[in-house]
Amino acid sequence: MMVQGGGRPLTGWGRYPVVVARHRRSEDLEAVTRGATLSRGLGRSYGDASLPGSSDGMVAVTTAADRLRWFDAERGVVRAEAGVSLATLNRLFWHRGWSVPSSPGTQQVTLGGMVAADVHGKSHHTEGCFGEHVRALRMRVADERILEVSEENEPDLFRATLGGMGLTGHLLEVEFHLRPAPSGWVLAESQGYGDLESTVDALRSAGPEWPHTLAWLDLLARGRAFGRGVVERGRRAEPGEAPARPPAPRFPPPIPFSLPLISGTTMRLANIARYWSRRRHRRGIVHPDAFFYPLDVVGWVNRLYPRAGFTQYQAVLPTGAGVEGCRELLDIMVRRGAVPLLCVLKDFGGEGKGMLSFPKAGLSIAVDLPITERTQGAVDAMNDFVAGAGGRVYLAKDTLTRAEHFRAMEPRLPAWEAVRRQWDPETRIRSALSVRLFGDAT
């Protein structure tokens, strides 16, 4: 078992904040979670969700605990340990005619992380969050008991754990449904639109026809072009239209060290290149990795970001807020001096069963922002607006939201806190995020 006695610097994906933390990793998840104060998977949450709440806390790293318990090929159900990665699941099941539903934008996440953040993806308007496909969980709760949790057994704990950011207990095993996939390949279309309104319209109207949709916006363009974008839509290719062989797994070369090439200037050029290369309508069969996980083309892409770190601001605005709401939010961001490197829009379907799950019907806006002295002010101003508009932010991405803002956005919080208190009255399991947002002691 890896025990880092004095602790080592640990960060989330955005490399900010940095916390010196004790952590240990083992194939034996029951052993490694015993007495631990938080579980951590592949560390893809951007901010402080996977960092311990206090310096004497012990983080259990789950990535070595990655056994599949069983696979039922009749019903398409898998049960696996929480440390298995989505990349592994994709490699194992795509060529057997199954896919993991509600895949997020990276496959370098663990099953436990997918449950804790109740992840969503390009398919949210058709498939909902990952939690909708979860049948049961095996958990170690704060008093060290190990429980089987589902809609039938401790349903409150089950729903509080979907999207509960790992704060209701340690996830040991996850049982979930796969979805039949006619082939591993994807039929994808993309098309550019010259302004924000037409991009949002195109995204919304693609929903009923296409199971996977997403829009990418160029926020570094100035004037009328601000918010121009490319809408991407796709579906699993039918066997007749795709190559007969399954898509070969890709092993992306990792960026070996910090190489901060991403800045406002380089991203302005990249956004322009991307817009002009995708402006015209394109349609074709693409590798699923290229469609679902464009940022996984190299490993550790976060090493390209500025040294001071970055965050992602992702908020959902309810349908009523419309394109105007979206434009106003983006205006606030730019006015407050944030540099929006990369922006992604997604129209959500309804709210899921996770008590704290992020998505609800409306438009989701996700923007990568480098950490500068102005980022906190921009996030505060955006949060004022989002709270007033009836929206909320995504905790898996969040680094800088203040407790009062989150409480104002989240009328469901007291109910979730009540369940958490019932299972963990002393808040033994806590993270830097729960200290920041839920008032846990450090």
Binding site for another protein (CB under 8 A): 1-3, 24-28, 64, 67-71, 78, 80, 91-92, 96
Q: Which residue, 84 or 387, is less far from another protein as judged by CB? A: 84
Strands (E) in 178-328, as ranges, are 179-180, 186-193, 212-218, 228-236, 282-286, 310-318
Q: Which residue, 39 or 314, is less far from another protein as judged by CB? A: 39
Cβ 71 to another protein shortest distance, Å: 4
The single residue listed with the structure tokens 């240990």 is 24
Indicate the DSSP class of residue 93: H
Cβ 22 to another protein shortest distance, Å: 13
Q: Which residue, 250 or 402, is less far from another protein as judged by CB? A: 250
Q: Which residue, 69 or 307, is less far from another protein as judged by CB? A: 69
For β-strands 134-140 and 146-150, DSSP reports them as: antiparallel
Cβ 304 to another protein shortest distance, Å: 22
Question: What is the DSSP annotation of 265-306?
Answer: HHHHHHHHHHHHHHSS-EEEEE-HHHHH-GGGGSBTGGGGS-
Cβ 91 to another protein shortest distance, Å: 8
Closest CA to 437 of 390, 385, 377, 392: 392
Which residues fall within 8 angstroms of residue 256, CB to CB, at 6 or more apart?
none
Cβ 175 to another protein shortest distance, Å: 12
Q: Which residue, 95 or 327, is less far from another protein as judged by CB? A: 95
Q: Classify residue 118 by burial, with Cβ atoms within 10 Å: 0-12, 13-18, 19+.
A: buried
Structure-block tokens of residue 205: 């109207």
Q: Which residue, 78 or 341, is less far from another protein as judged by CB? A: 78
**What one-letter code names the amino acid at 432?**
A
Cβ 386 to another protein shortest distance, Å: 40
- 329 vs 319: CA distance, rounded Å: 14
From first CA to last CA, the distance across the chain in angstroms is 26
